[in-house]
Amino acid sequence: MKIENFIKKFGHNVIKQSIESNKNRGNISVNLFGYTNGKATRVIKEYIEKYDINTDHFDRQWKNRKYEKSIKKICPQCQKEFETNGRDDNITCSCKCSNIYFAYRRKATGTKDAKCYICGEHFKIKVQANIDKVYCEECKSKRLHIKIFDCTECGKKIRKTKSGMCRKCFSKSDENREAQRKMMKKRVEKGIHSGWKSREGKKPSYPEKYFMKVLKEEGISYVKDKYVGGYFPDFLIDRTNVILEVDGKQHLRRKKKDIKRDTKLTNMGFTVYRIQWYNPTNDERKKKLYRQIKEFYDIIGHETSIVL
């Protein structure tokens, strides 16, 4: 808060009166704002310095002196005399005595009878334990206290869920897809997610740049990231129905999706050829990469003078 806004909000008379009646800037802040923090005490300090207000009555230690050690008591545990003040009002002389004297508050002594909710066996439990539904050790070891249900889709044994399905079935369900769709819609509306966008203008990866250079040097014309059948293939070779895909390590985790994608494009009349990317930094990697490039050239019927 700026000092001009501070004066406008409270006025000189109220501020000066609060400074005169309190012992420090923190108390003045609580008196005026109802709370204290760095900004509030800083603006009060600026006001005092600007208008040269006398603060000789300020005393940081006045709270400590307010509660002087004047009360004498006898510790009920060790029977020693000790001093305390009106603010703390201690009962025992130390933490050690307190832990011993008030031990009964932390630990319940004794046991009570209980009956197993499943087998009906009687046994003892601690006094503070809840006896609405208790289970003996044998039933717990056999996990009989856990209710098991059948998944409504696949029949797998599961614990009870809201949907009645196991995780795998629920992830594929229409209910989950609708929930995911609504969640993503909210994220797009809030600006957290950008939503569906084409790959137009997106920077190509290093493997894609490498093959863009290779195809250009070989004089093979192509279309990059053309929308085909709901997908954006890496390279669609001109005047052919051949699609070239360059697969990095991330494709090893999504083979099923790639197979589904390739099947759809193949049914549309395209030939999909995938090259597993190896960075050609040594002879072994070059050999693996160049072998795949040669096979690709054979598919599109391209002859090259370069020895691969």
pLDDT tens digits along 162-184: 888 998 899 889 999 899 989 98
The per-residue pLDDT for 272 is 92
Cβ distance 162 to 151 under 8 Å?
A: no
Q: What residues contact 304, with CB distance under 8 A and at least 6 apart?
A: 218, 297
The segment with the largest mean pLDDT, out of 33-37, 193-197, 255-259, is 255-259
CA pair distance 246, 206, nearest whole angstrom: 10
The per-residue pLDDT for 190 is 85
What does the pLDDT average to over 229-254?
Answer: 87
Q: How many helices (H) and strands (E) does the chain have?
A: 13, 10
What does the pLDDT average to over 141-154?
Answer: 80
**Which of 84, 81, 57, 54 minimizes the C-alpha distance to 69?**
84
Top-confidence residue, 208 or 105: 208
**Is the Cα dihedral 153, 154, 157, 161 positive or negative?**
negative
Query: CB burial class (10 A; 0-12, 13-18, 19+) of residue 290?
Result: middle
CA pair distance 275, 296, nearest whole angstrom: 8
